[in-house]
Amino acid sequence: MIAAVVFDMDGVIVDSEQVWDEVRERYVGEVGGTYTDSATRDMMGMSSLEWSRYMADQLGVPGTPEEINAAIVARMLERYGEAPPLIDGAVEAVRRAAARWPLAIASSSNPELIDVVLRTAGLSELFPVAVSSQEVARGKPAPDVYLEAARRLGVEPAHCAAVEDSHNGIRSAKAAGMRVVAVPNPHFPPDVEALAQADAVVASVGELTPELLAG
């Protein structure tokens, strides 16, 4: 029986995966690095420390991971402003779920970006728990961020449903032992193997219902 729901944020609530991609690619070019064809998929789901280290080691970006992370997050906050690009139907889907279960966020975004999105969307009060992969040992596809969200909710992972859009996110939630509802990201769709791990698939977050989450 489902007792809580854990939402990813990027690609589920806010249409930001391509914004992350644009910001990182532009920054890499400006500082003399080389953005590779695989960089976007490689970094999707990584924690901030992991993707900033990847940018230094694999893309030739100068500076420490901490400096790279700070530069990218500053640019993301500037892009978000006070109007992050919310996905149509996402706020309503969250409110439907919150009417039945306690909710959490399990996101690869930095805490300050999570705060901006939830605050401007008017959803902060519906998410008593919000975990950034920056706060755990490993980013997605490792299960750490989902396991920590379940721990803070006080609910066994097997009694949680997760809502995810990406290949690494689906793998992460599944590895945590959760029921996974996939909303494939149209910009960076999950691969066939990851999608096959989902317990249910919907075309858009607006189709997410309590009945689907409950299974």
Looking at the fold, whether 34 and 117 belong to one and the same domain comes out as: no
Domain that holds residue 29: 17-80
Q: Are 84 and 14 in contact (CB under 8 A)?
A: yes
CATH, residue 198:
3.40.50.1000
pLDDT by residue (tens digit) across 142-179? 999 999 999 999 999 999 999 999 999 999 999 999 99
**Alpha carbon distance 37, 211 (integer Å):** 39
Question: What local confidence, expressed as pLDDT, does residue 17 receive?
Answer: 81
Do 31 and 68 lie in one domain? The reply is yes
Number of domains the chain contains: 2
Residue finishing a domain among 60, 80, 100: 80
- Are both 75 and 35 inside the same structural domain? yes
Q: Please check whether residues 111 and 159 belong to one and the same domain.
A: yes
Strands across the sheet containing 103-107:
129-132, 103-107, 4-7, 160-164, 179-182, 200-201
- The residue among 80, 95, 121 that closes a domain is 80
Q: Verify that 53 and 132 share a domain, yes or no.
A: no
Same domain, 112 and 194: yes
Task: Mark whether 122 and 170 lie in a shared domain.
Answer: yes
Co-location of 133 and 203 in the same domain: yes
Over residues 191-202, the pLDDT tens digits come to 999 999 999 999
114 and 209: one domain? yes
Tens digits of residue pLDDT in 67-107: 999 999 999 988 887 678 999 999 999 999 999 999 999 99
| CATH code: domain of residue 68 | 1.10.150.240
Which structure tokens are listed for 73?
Answer: 């997050």
Check whether residue 155 and residue 183 sit in a common domain: yes
Q: Are residues 129 and 206 in the same domain?
A: yes
**Domain-terminating residue out of 27, 59, 80:** 80
DSSP string of 182-194? Answer: E---SSSPPPHHH
Same structural domain, 8 and 48: no
Find the mean pLDDT for residues 39-68.
92
